[in-house]
Amino acid sequence: MISHPSAGSLAGTSVLFDLDGTIIDSRMGIIATIRQVLEELGHTPDPSHDLSWVVGPPLRDLIGEILKHYGDDRCEEAMACYRRLYETGGALRAPVFSGMRETISAIQNAGATLYIATSKPKILARSILERTGLLHHFREVYGARPDDSGAEKPELIASVLADHQIEKHHAVMIGDRRFDISGAHANNIRALGVAWGYSSEGELLDAAPEVIVAQPAELPGYVAQQLNAAKQHVHA
């Protein structure tokens, strides 16, 4: 039997969570919305066009990249269309990953303060968390502005740390994509990659999080392990 670390006390620590691909299973709703956007712009969605990567990057980046495939540069129009369609349809197709409700509760009950750091617009992220009954677990939700600016993970994570005066060895970031890992490392905090999300093959290994977690139930123990390790390596 494989032994996993136990959570213990997390009092005085802060745990930052990505949203899409970490807490909610949002890919099908996002892909369906992108196809609707393409149709509204007059394109026939190409079934051979791989869209498995679309969860994680800021909206402007992913829309711009998708439009290139169709020789289209109407990024602003496409983004406005996406926001309208996603908020009324795609966002409703975003169930919570099995086991994540219990995991979030366990980490909070162990004493940690929880935050969301997502590339989604903050208002939309709060709406999804409220609809799924998870919003009350998080002290604050950090996300992009309504125009999708401010969606880069290094800046989002830096804002969480600065706004709440969080010492870096008292915080960890949890996410499924390289953006989450690099954003954490840019702020000198430890990162936990989750294997149930939307990273491509080898992506998390290349991003080099401190640990890759296989199942939600294992997260509380690994969060405690990484926070304890961070405290042992505080630099003067």
148 is catalytic: no
- Taking the C-alpha atoms of residue 19 and residue 195, their distance in angstroms, rounded to an integer, is 14
Closest CA to 100 of 60, 126, 140, 129: 129
Q: Which long-range contacts (CB under 8 A, 24 or more apart) does 2-6 make?
A: 4/218, 4/221, 4/222, 5/221, 5/222, 5/224, 5/225, 6/220, 6/221, 6/224
Closest CA to 168 of 142, 190, 152, 143: 190
Token look-up 């890759």 returns: 212
Residues sharing a CB contact under 8 Å with residue 33, sequence separation 6 or more, in sequence order: 82, 85, 86, 89, 90
CA 134 to chain centre: 15
Q: Which of 18, 20, 176, 180 is catalytic?
A: 18
Residues sharing a CB contact under 8 Å with residue 76, sequence separation 6 or more, in sequence order: none
Task: Tell me which H or E stretch contains 147.
Answer: none
* Tokens, residue 160: 């969480």
Catalytic residues: 18
